[in-house]
Chain A
Amino acid sequence: MNSSISSAALTAADFNQSLTGFANTLRRHHFIVTTDDLVTAEMACAILKPHSLLEFYLTIHPCLVKSSAQDDLFRKQFWEYFSPRNDTRAEEATGQWAMTLEPAIFHSATPSPQKALSKSWKHALLQRLANGPRQLASFEAFLEGHYQNSAILVFRHPLTQQDKTWIVRHLAALARQQIINPENWPNVEEVLQRYRRLIEVVERLSPSSFRSVRRNRDNGYFHQPEHLSSSDILHLSTQEWNAPLAPLPDTYRDTLTAAIHSLAKHLQGDFSRGHEIRRKHLVFNYRQTIKRSLATFGEPAILIKTARPRRIRRIVTLCDISGSVQSVSSLFLAFLYGLHQIFEGRIRHFAFVSSADEITRHFAGQGYHQLIYQVLNHASIDYQGFSDYGALWKQMTRVYASVFDDNPIVFVLGDARSNRYPPEVDRFRAISRRVHAIYWLNPEPRSQWNLGDSSVARYKPYARFVEIARFNQLVDFLQKLPGMVIL
Chain B
Amino acid sequence: MTILTPDAWKESLVSRHYIPTPEITIALSLAQSLEKPLLVEGPPGAGKTFLARTAAHILEASFIRLQCYEGIDASQALYEYHYAKQLLYINALREPLAAILGQRSFDQAVAELEELLPLWGRPFLTRRPVLEALDPADHKPRVLLIDEIDRADREFEALLLEPLSEFSLSIPEFGTIQAVQKPLVILTSNRSRELSDALRRRCLYVWIELPDRQREAAIIQSQVPQASESFAKDVAEFLASYRHAKPHHLPSIAEAVELATALCLTGENPRPLTPDNVDETLPIFAKHPRDMALGRQIAERKSRP
Contacts and interface: CB of A to CB of B under 8 A. Distances in A.
Nearest to A70: B205
Contact of A298 (B34, B91, B154, B201): B91
B46 to A, nearest CB: 12
B79 interface: no
Contacts of B201: 34, 36-37, 66
A59 interface: yes
A228 interface: no
A124 interface: no
B194 A345 contact: yes
B144 to A, nearest CB: 18
Interface in A30-54: 32, 34, 36-37, 40, 43-44, 47-48
Given A298-B87, A345-B154, A346-B154, A360 B204 contact: no
Interface string B55-90: 000000000000000110001000010011011001
A294 interface: yes
Contacts of A48: 6, 26, 29-30
A406 B70 contact: yes
Interface stretch (A173-181, A216-224, A394-402, A474-482): A394-402
A71 interface: yes
A293 interface: yes
A186 interface: no
Contact of A44 (B30, B87, B90, B191): B30
A67 to B, nearest CB: 6
Contacts, number: 104
A66 B153 CA distance: 19
Contacts of B161: none
A367 interface: no
Contacts of B87: 290, 293-294, 297-298
Interface string B25-42: 011011001101011010
A364 interface: yes
Contacts of A294: 83, 86-87, 90
A56 to B, nearest CB: 11
A297 B94 CA distance: 9
A392 to B, nearest CB: 15
A344 B154 CA distance: 9
B41 A290 contact: no
B192 interface: yes
Given A294-B86, A297-B90, A345 B196 contact: yes
Contacts of A401: 248
B194 A67 contact: yes
Contact of B26 (A32, A37, A62, A365): A62
Contacts of A62: 23, 26-27, 30, 38, 204-206
A269 to B, nearest CB: 13
A59 B246 contact: no
A446 to B, nearest CB: 35
Interface in A306-365: 309, 311-312, 314, 344-346, 348, 360-361, 364-365
B162 to A, nearest CB: 16
Given A58-B23, A68-B207, A345-B193, A63 B30 contact: yes
A379 to B, nearest CB: 16
Contacts of A403: 192
Contact of A309 (B71, B194, B203): B71
Contacts of B75: 287
Contacts of A66: 39, 197, 200-201, 203, 205
Nearest to B204: A62
Contact of B34 (A44, A67, A365): A44
B22 interface: yes
A44 B34 CA distance: 7
B197 A364 contact: yes
Interface string B225-253: 00000000000000000000010100000
Contacts of B205: 61-62, 65-67
A425 to B, nearest CB: 17
B107 to A, nearest CB: 21
Nearest to B203: A66
B246 A398 contact: yes
A108 B47 CA distance: 62
A128 interface: no
Contacts of A405: 192
A42 B88 CA distance: 54
Contacts of B41: 67-68
A291 interface: yes
A360 B194 contact: yes
Contacts of B80: 287
Contacts of B248: 398, 401
Contacts of B23: 58, 61-62
B30 to A, nearest CB: 5
Contacts of B246: 398-399
Contacts of B153: 312
Residue from B6, B90, B191 having most chain A Cβ neighbours under 10 A: B191
A302 B153 CA distance: 30
Contacts of A345: 154, 193-196
A248 B297 CA distance: 51
A361 B30 CA distance: 26
B34 to A, nearest CB: 6
A217 to B, nearest CB: 34
28 contacts: A34-B201, A37-B201, A40-B204, A43-B33, A44-B34, A47-B33, A59-B26, A61-B26, A62-B26, A62-B27, A66-B205, A67-B195, A68-B207, A71-B207, A287-B75, A287-B83, A291-B83, A294-B86, A294-B90, A298-B90, A298-B91, A312-B70, A314-B193, A346-B193, A360-B194, A361-B194, A365-B197, A401-B248
Interface of A: 32, 34, 36-37, 40, 43-44, 47-48, 58-59, 61-63, 65-68, 71, 287, 290-291, 293-294, 297-298, 309, 311-312, 314, 344-346, 348, 360-361, 364-365, 398-399, 401-403, 405-406
Given A40-B36, A43-B34, A61-B205, 7 more contacts: A44-B34, A62-B23, A66-B197, A67-B200, A67-B205, A298-B91, A402-B192
A-B CB proximity, top 8 nearest: A66-B200, A345-B154, A290-B83, A62-B204, A62-B27, A309-B71, A291-B83, A47-B33
